[in-house]
A and B are shown apart, each in its own frame.
Chain A
Amino acid sequence: MKTFAELNFPGRLIAVEGLDGSGKSTQIYLLKRWLEAEGIKVYFSEWNSSELVKSATSKGKKRELLTPTTFSLIHATDFADRYERHLLPLLRAGYIVLCDRYVFTAFARDVTRGCTPDWVRGLYGFAAQPDLTLFFKADLEVSLNRILEGRPKLKFFEAGMDLRLSTDPYESFKLFQGRILEQYMSMSGEFNFVVMNANQNVEKQQVLVRKLVGEKIDLKKFKRKTPLPLPPALQGDAVVKEIEEDMAAV
């Protein structure tokens, strides 16, 4: 697997991976805010967010129609859609693309569900490797608590109930997450994961995330040539007045 830099893309891709409740989404959100404030061209993409398969996925999940194979295929379709229609064009245009979960989520999760490892990897054979993959590793208990405290009702597939590990959703979820974590750790070296201590406090982690990104990527190359205009509310009264006058003139 080659990185986007090795494939001579002008843009760079940063992915975060980790268990539910590892805090990865908070970290990538704060990273995005920083990059935006620096005037850098940045785009954020989330796992399982494409409109193309949304209705099929939600139907499949709600009615518990999904098998490990179709679960895997439907997520691959989602990924391919985002990859070809958003990620690739943006990377060609020199963006920094931030991905909340990447193909490694499928490698870990689908294999835990019972798909053949080589088959899943083959499905995602079209995807290049991120230029930086941050893996947020919290103690299993810590991530479990974060999820289980905040949201008492676990969904069927989220809890890995389809694996029939336990009839109790909480017990099932714990076993399922534990197995996913094992899968993640076994591929960590192969895909150059930078393992973050996700037990640490959020601010400290973010300082490190920004440092790592700054070291890996020459950020000034990704600045917008013309800064994005601020919304009128932030531009001061004079500017607002000017806009109003222009509009009145039309």
Chain B
Amino acid sequence: MKNSEPKKCRKFFGLGIPRVKLEELEGKLIVVEGSDGSGRSSQIAQLVDWLETSGHPTVQVGLKRSTLVSKELEEAQQGNILSRTTLSLFYATDFADQLENIILPALKAGFIVLADRYIYTLMARDLARGMDEKWLKNLYGIALVPDAVFYLSVEPEELVQRNLSKSATLDYWESGMDLGLSRDMFDSFLKYQTTIAEVFQKLQKHYNFEIVDANRSIHSVAKELRKKIGALLEEK
């Protein structure tokens, strides 16, 4: 039998990780992006249930979950010594550790890797802090291009409501308090999340990911994600 359809080509964004054989990475890398309160975690939990019941092995990764630096990064964020550069490099270390120790081996073993945020959030945060775009592109040139990226988009006004109803407070970093946009946390949160949404729109044009309207109910967002991921899995 002749296989006329060329296999979808795996790629790194830039220079990549040396000595990785891309053709061996048979699994799928699916990324769910969005701010805190966008429903990311709930959606991923539902996806894992659905995928595993359908017989697909899955693995999850996310920000600040590396063995190497998650604890140290969390501690550093409680203090006042992180600059935008060290914040960026710290998160990049956390990402690289998971990329090499979880994502790549899992893909090689044919797993579906669900990433609760990926380099897009990291880049958006850094760009909102004025980091050099070229520098960031080189830094995250080590990352693998995912098979699908879904950005759960929620209006900042709705985000603020969801965050407050969940924990009755706003997170310092998710409010962008280090940027000095406003002394008022509520104002700062809205301003910062608006900036992040704008950056994501710019990134979307370049990286071509799907924006999912997540102002809707969990159920209808989940349905849309299942439909799209189902189609992706059938491509094989």
Contacts and interface: CB of A to CB of B under 8 A. Distances in A.
A74 interface: yes
A55 B90 CA distance: 13
Interface string A46-87: 000000110110011000011111100110110011001100
Given A67-B96, A67-B100, A123-B138, A60 B18 contact: no
A73 B92 contact: yes
B138 A80 contact: no
Interface in B70-117: 71-72, 76, 81-83, 85-86, 89-90, 92-93, 96-97, 99-101
B71 to A, nearest CB: 8
B15 A119 contact: yes
Given A70-B97, A115-B18, A125-B138, A80 B89 contact: yes
B14 interface: yes
A118 interface: yes
A65 B67 contact: yes
A114 interface: yes
A119 B14 contact: yes
B122 interface: no
A213 to B, nearest CB: 29
Given A67-B100, A85-B83, A116-B18, A125 B93 contact: no
Contacts of A29: none
Contacts of A55: 71-72
Given A74-B93, A125-B135, A60 B14 contact: no
A229 interface: no
A84 B86 contact: yes
Contacts, number: 86
B135 A122 contact: yes
Contact of A69 (B67, B69, B100): B100
A84 B83 contact: yes
Given A85-B83, A123-B139, A114 B19 contact: yes
B141 interface: yes
B97 A126 contact: no
A80 B85 contact: yes
A65 B81 contact: no
Contacts of B92: 73
Contacts of B19: 114
Interface string B40-78: 000000000000000000000000000111011000100
B159 interface: no
B22 interface: no
B15 A59 contact: no
Contacts of B67: 65
Interface in B123-150: 132, 134-135, 138-139, 141-142
For B68, B83, B92, which residue has the most chain A Cβ atoms within 10 angstroms? B68
B232 interface: no
B17 interface: yes
Interface string B5-18: 00000000011111
A66 B68 contact: yes
Contacts of A60: 68
8 contacts: A52-B90, A55-B71, A56-B68, A80-B86, A84-B85, A116-B16, A119-B14, A123-B139
Interface of A: 52-53, 55-56, 59-60, 65-70, 73-74, 76-77, 80-81, 84-85, 114-116, 118-119, 122-123, 125-126
